[in-house]
Amino acid sequence: MRLAQKRALVARWREEYGFPERLLAAFMAVPRERFIDASLSDEAYGDYPLPIGGGQTISQPTTVMLMTHFLAPEPDSRVLEVGAGSGYQAAVLSRLVPEGKVISVEYDAGLAETARRNLRAADAENVEVVVGDGGDGLPDRAPFDRIIVTCACPKVPGPLVAQLAEGGALVAPVSGLLGETMVRLTKEGGKVKKERLGLFSFVPLRGRHGSDG
Ligand code: SAH
């Protein structure tokens, strides 16, 4: 049942978005049911967000996959995620960077612990979860080839742009009147280029670079 639902999502994405096979394989390899409460496991492959505690949600599978596609990590990329939440997005990314690393910053210490536990249960290696205000990035660990923000920010936090490596890409949902516009920044020759990739809906960024900061 669950496997059939999972395969149906993959078939839809292949047809609708033409996602590369390695991205689809990463999705197939990660058990989403390990990243949500056991009482919700029958809903693991429904294409909608699910609660993960603390008023936060795990994004719907299509959103996770589209963001990962926009980010386009390479096998050796060093990836920074802002908002570990359940750890699911980090687990998908870790499959795509077998020779690289994913460092995920989480504001809520309790959720960070949950993410670590879920990542261990799902055998996701090369992921490190750090507690902190991800809007500040991790200056000591920079630069990053890829940066992904999984909560809505009023604007892309400056420290993250500064910590993006040359040739790197950053994907973030930026709040506006109608919801969040997915934005991709790329850095080439020291210049930052911005693209808008469509409307989404996200829980807000907290801390210094959030709307209440
Ligand atoms: N990527 C997650 C879902 C993220 S939900 C997953 O796959 O499950 C958004 C998360 O961002 C929440 O866990 C929230 O606590 C976290 N968050 C909000 N503001 C943050 C900040 N300033 N720094 C780090 N994490 C933040």
C-alpha 128 to ligand 1 mean position (Å) = 15
59 among known catalytic residues: yes
Is residue 129 in contact with ligand 1, taking CB distance under 6 Å? no
88-133: per-residue pLDDT in tens? Answer: 999 999 999 999 999 999 999 999 999 999 999 999 989 999 999 9
Dist. CA 94–CA 13, nearest whole Å? 20
Residue 196 has a pLDDT of 96
Is residue 83 in contact with ligand 1, taking CB distance under 6 Å? yes
Is residue 151 in contact with ligand 1, taking CB distance under 6 Å? yes
Dist. CA 186–CA 195, nearest whole Å? 9
The partner residues of 80 in beta bridges, in order of sequence, read 103, 147
Beta strand residue intervals within the chain, DSSP E:
50-53, 56-58, 78-82, 101-106, 127-131, 144-149, 164-176, 179-188, 191-200
Check: CB of residue 105 under 8 Å from CB of residue 82. Answer: yes
Please identify, by atom number, the ligand 1 atom nearest to the C-alpha of residue 108: 15
135-172 burial string, b = 16+ CB within 10 Å, else e? bbbbeeebbbbbbbbbbbbeebbebbbebbeeebbbbb
Dist. CA 171–CA 49, nearest whole Å? 19
- What's the predicted TM-score (pTM) here? 0.97
Is residue 135 in contact with ligand 1, taking CB distance under 6 Å? yes
C-alpha 183 to ligand 1 mean position (Å) = 17
- Of the candidates 166, 86, 162, the one whose C-alpha atom is nearest the C-alpha of residue 127 is 86
Please identify, by atom number, the ligand 1 atom nearest to the C-alpha of residue 111: 13
54-65: per-residue pLDDT in tens? Answer: 889 999 999 999
Residue 212 has a pLDDT of 74
Is residue 77 in contact with ligand 1, taking CB distance under 6 Å? no
Q: Which two tokens stand for residue 64?
A: 């996770």
- Of the candidates 81, 90, 96, 146, the one whose C-alpha atom is nearest the C-alpha of residue 116 is 90
